[in-house]
């Protein structure tokens, strides 16, 4: 690492620590997510370019006030899921949803958070279940979080609240089933870590759908997995976008702004829900 890289890294660490300490001293709830949470949950260390903090959307203004008092500026980048705290060239992501609008940060994230330390500061860490839920949808050409999901399952399958995880996926249960199936492929001798009743429940739903005629919605849910790779389906082939009402939670403006950002955006470690 060059001296300039070390200086930049040191500057970022100081900035991150000050923000964590300022928020911790306030009454505004927040969680640490992204790579830092992944490391806390799996003990797998990896380099990260930023710090991801998860907040409820309704708390954004309060977080902004805390940051201004600490000498930092905030910016709402995408109104449906992402803001940032800036200090010159370094930043922190403030995440209150996923990019596809599915994984909103609600009270349950905080109710099931775990305690940890980041940069020596005691903090709450995003729950394993919500971390799996949000990462499961990230299937971009340039980024796929399936390995993260597999490692989280390998480390915590015995302690997971499986019913809560099923409830989180809800109508998107096929996404969970796909990851659980791949988990058995990645770790053949650990397949039994996934409770049999969970697999039976999901496979029964799959069997039930196999004998039902699909609804004539001409729907593409691929946009929930990748913001870019299914645009031809929705823009050229006439498929309905699974992110939009009545199927999803985004507005046409959200989708337009999120799509316009594709060439320039680097998705944060969260997650970046797509």
Identify the pLDDT of residue 54: 98
Identify the pLDDT of residue 89: 87
Identify the pLDDT of residue 48: 72
| 72, pLDDT greater than 90 | yes
pLDDT per residue as tens digits for the range 135-169: 999 999 999 999 999 999 999 999 999 999 999 99
Q: Taking the domains of the chain in order of start, what are their residue ranges?
A: 1-126, 219-260
Identify the pLDDT of residue 269: 54
Identify the pLDDT of residue 67: 98
| 270, pLDDT greater than 70 | no
Alpha-carbon radius of gyration of the chain: 19
Find tokens 């609600």 and name the residue.
Answer: 106
User: Can you tell me the mean pLDDT for 92-105?
Assistant: 98
**pLDDT range class, residue 47, cuts 50, 70, 90:** confident
The CATH architecture that domain 1-126 belongs to is 2-Layer Sandwich (3.30)
Instruction: Lowest mean pLDDT of 194-198, 211-215, 237-241, name the range.
Output: 211-215
Q: Give Cα separations from 29 to 84, 106, 115, 148 (angstroms).
A: 16, 11, 13, 26
Find tokens 């930023």 and name the residue.
Answer: 50
pTM of the model: 0.91
Identify the pLDDT of residue 11: 87
Note the helical H segments in the chain.
3-25, 34-42, 60-70, 107-111, 128-135, 146-156, 162-169, 173-186, 196-210, 231-235, 252-260
């Amino acid at each position: 690492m060059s001296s300039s890289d070390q200086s930049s890294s040191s500057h970022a660490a100081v900035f991150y620590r000050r923000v964590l300490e300022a928020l911790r001293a306030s009454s505004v709830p927040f969680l640490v997510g992204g790579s830092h949470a992944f490391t806390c949950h799996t003990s797998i260390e990896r380099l990260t370019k930023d710090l991801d903090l998860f907040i409820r959307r309704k708390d954004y203004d309060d977080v902004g006030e805390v940051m201004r008092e600490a000498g930092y500026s905030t910016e709402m980048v995408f109104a449906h899921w992402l803001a940032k705290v800036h200090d010159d060239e370094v930043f922190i992501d403030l995440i209150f949803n996923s990019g596809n609008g599915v994984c909103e940060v609600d009270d349950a994230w905080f109710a099931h958070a775990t305690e940890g330390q980041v940069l020596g500061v005691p903090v709450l860490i995003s729950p394993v279940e919500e971390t799996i839920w949000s990462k499961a949808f990230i299937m971009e050409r340039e980024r796929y979080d399936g390995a993260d999901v597999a490692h989280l399952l390998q480390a915590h399958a015995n302690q997971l609240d499986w019913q809560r995880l099923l409830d989180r996926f809800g109508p998107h249960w096929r996404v969970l089933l796909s990851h659980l199936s791949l988990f058995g492929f990645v770790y053949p001798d650990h397949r039994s870590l996934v409770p049999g009743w969970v697999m039976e429940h999901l496979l029964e739903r799959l069997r039930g759908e196999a004998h039902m005629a699909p609804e004539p919605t001409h729907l593409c849910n691929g946009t929930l997995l990748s913001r870019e790779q299914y645009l031809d389906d929705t823009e050229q082939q006439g498929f309905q976008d699974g992110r939009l009402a009545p199927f999803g939670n985004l507005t046409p403006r959200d989708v337009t702004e999120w799509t316009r950002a594709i060439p320039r955006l680097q998705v944060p470690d969260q997650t970046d829900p797509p």
